[in-house]
Amino acid sequence: MVLSLHCLYSFRRCPYAMRARLGTLFAKLQLELREVTLKNKPAAMLAISPKGTVPVLQLQNGSVIDESQDIMMWALAQQDPSGLLEGFHVHKANMLIEQNDQQFKYWLDRYKYADRHPEMSQTDYRQQGEVFLQTLEALLTEQDFLLGNKPTVADIAIMPFVRQFAHVDRDTFYQLPYPYLQKWLQDWLVHPVFLQAMTKYKPWQPEDEVVLFPEAY
Options 3.40.220.10, 1.20.1050.10, 1.10.1060.10, 1.10.3720.10; CATH for 90-194 is: 1.20.1050.10
Q: What pTM, to 2 d.p., does this model score?
A: 0.96
Count of CB atoms situated within 10 Å of the CB of 127: 14
Q: What is the pLDDT of residue 2?
A: 59
Task: Decide if 7-83+196-213 and 90-194 have a common fold.
Answer: no
Q: What is the pLDDT of residue 189?
A: 98
For 54-94, what is each residue's pLDDT tens digit?
A: 999 999 999 999 999 999 999 999 999 999 998 777 889 99
Spans of all domains in the chain: 7-83+196-213, 90-194
From CA 85, how far away is CA 73, in angstroms rounded? 9
Cis peptide before 203 (omega within 30 of 0): no
From CA 153, how far away is CA 182, in angstroms rounded? 19
Residues lower than pLDDT 50 in the chain: none
Q: What is the pLDDT of residue 90?
A: 81
The CATH architecture annotation of domain 7-83+196-213 reads 3-Layer(aba) Sandwich (3.40)
Q: What is the pLDDT of residue 1?
A: 55
Go through 64-98 and write b for each residue having 16 or more CB atoms within 10 A of its CB, e for each that does not. ebbbbbebbbbbbeeebebebbeebeeeebeebbe
From CA 43, how far away is CA 123, in angstroms rounded? 40
